[in-house]
Structure 1
């Protein structure tokens, strides 16, 4: 901790509120010390289940079975640490917010990623950010927060999954409104390493509803693209069709790779999205 203290102080005033918010959010969905309970090779007893085909005599709990007219297997909870790689889109498009009182997409993405990391690390998992190896321990939260605070990239960013461990898990959080080639290539690389994961799409309600009408100027977050129209309402149908097409492409890509896809809106409470992420990690294991 002595090594981390100067780094923590150097982060300034932006990270402590984010870390505190992530910790608080994680507490709202905490499912126990090791919430993702599944059968495995650990030492901690989980449950009894009826013996079935393939269960050898050594697996049967004869003392428990003697009290019933059936054979029971004593299952133990899986305790082998898993490696999880997080990628949070740092493109400028994530800085968009459709209302002054609504957090930008990037802030919501960072909050959810850090809160998920809190839950995973407390469960004994190893967690890393794209481009860095996963590590265990509470101190890793500070490293992740520091990495997320790095300067934003261009309009859109692409995930780097080159260091994804074999049989690891991956979480990609983005608006996924930019070119899809980088995402597809990264997922293919992860799948080649037998890694599975989730795609969490973060969108502002304005991007879902397209409530524009009349004269409107559309400008990208970097200012590189600008479009002015006198009849914005006439574009709504085509825009919504393109958005639905992008969502369908993401869902299809997830299905083909054995991944999971979900959309979260910045106007919604983050607890539901975090719970979905946490449970999706169990399904991706």
Structure 2
């Protein structure tokens, strides 16, 4: 997933070794920061509430054709002209798959960002793992760690990430069964139609998705001026602009249009979309995803996403 910047791509062998060493140094610090943020966010939260098989009442909702008549609550239905069923709270352990993009473009950090995109993605991912592990959820990472339900799941994930092979693009998901949650954290700078071509089939398989887009402030504002050379950190391709400021408006228009297109397409799938900048607090994105996983109603969820997009623009 390409990014903008002034990074010269090293040789393939040197790149693999350099990135592996950089990740090994980065992950422990990210785990410390993730735990600190998780301790702040987790206060007062005792797990997710979802509809499903359980003993506790959750909500009334309109009856749908094909459902068992035994689920109809006749007392509630007698109050008006509609037929309602009684839903119960979901109590079984749930599998949540967490994934962070660790491709070269995520290493980008401008002078305007607090940390690299890679560092922020790892912190959000590990903090979410810490919170979910304390709630008894099963946590996995596609291609990196099989789902586990353990208090130290976040530490186990951090260790697995250090030893995981370098991978490009979106994760392989053949191992993920339907009716799981999938949290994807990355910069998602590829064309929106290409990304949705990969994500659409996942939604049709029954997965509930939550996409967190990590952006460096410079990627949104394009603060460059004068003669500037831009290097794609993944392909090594270069673009030299004689007057970079002349590109600013067209660039911003295209960048924000890509985000809006992808966000709208994800919402049509019933997924959530959270744009996040590295000059903002990591806890902002963490709280947003936490609320979506907790079962916030769709109307409120979409409203919150719209406000987040507007604020970050």
Q: TM-score range by the shorter chain?
A: 0.7 to 0.9
Partner of 2:286: 274
Please, which of 21, 30, 39 is the counterpart of residue 27 of structure 1? 39
Structural RMSD (CA) = 3.1
Partner of 2:157: 144
4+ residue runs over 6 A deviation: 49-53
The Cα of 1:230 is off from its aligned counterpart by 1.3
The Cα of 1:217 is off from its aligned counterpart by 1.0
Larger CA deviation: 157-166 vs 102-111 = 157-166
Partner of 2:217: 205
Partner of 2:110: 98
Query: Structure 1 stretches of 5 or more lacking a match?
Result: 1-10, 60-73
1-structure distance, mates of 2:233, 2:122:
18
Q: Is the 8 A contact 2:179 2:208 kept in 1?
A: yes
Query: Structure 2 stretches of 5 or more lacking a match?
Result: 1-22, 64-71, 77-85, 298-313
Q: Is the 8 A contact 1:259 1:284 kept in 2?
A: no
Please, which of 139, 147, 162 is the counterpart of residue 134 of structure 1? 147
The Cα of 1:140 is off from its aligned counterpart by 2.5
Q: Is the 8 A contact 2:112 2:217 kept in 1?
A: no
- Asked if residue 55 in structure 1 is aligned to residue 73 in structure 2, the reply is yes
Matched position secondary structure for 1:244: helix
- Asked if residue 260 in structure 1 is aligned to residue 272 in structure 2, the reply is yes
Q: Is the 8 A contact 2:109 2:216 kept in 1?
A: yes
TM-score by length of 2: 0.72
Please, which of 183, 197, 202 is the counterpart of residue 190 of structure 1? 202
- Asked if residue 80 in structure 1 is aligned to residue 92 in structure 2, the reply is yes
TM-score by length of 1: 0.78
2-structure distance, mates of 1:105, 1:193:
30
Per-residue CA shift, 1:130-167, capped at 9, x if unaligned? 2343221123222311233335445xx22322222211
Q: Is the 8 A contact 1:33 1:122 kept in 2?
A: no
The Cα of 1:284 is off from its aligned counterpart by 7.9
How many residues get paired? 256
2-structure distance, mates of 1:228, 1:50:
60
Please, which of 174, 193, 197 is the counterpart of residue 162 of structure 1? 174
The structure with higher relative contact order (CA 8 Å, sep 6+) is 2
**Structure 1 pair 52–265 and aligned structure 2 pair: CA distance change class (3 A):** closer
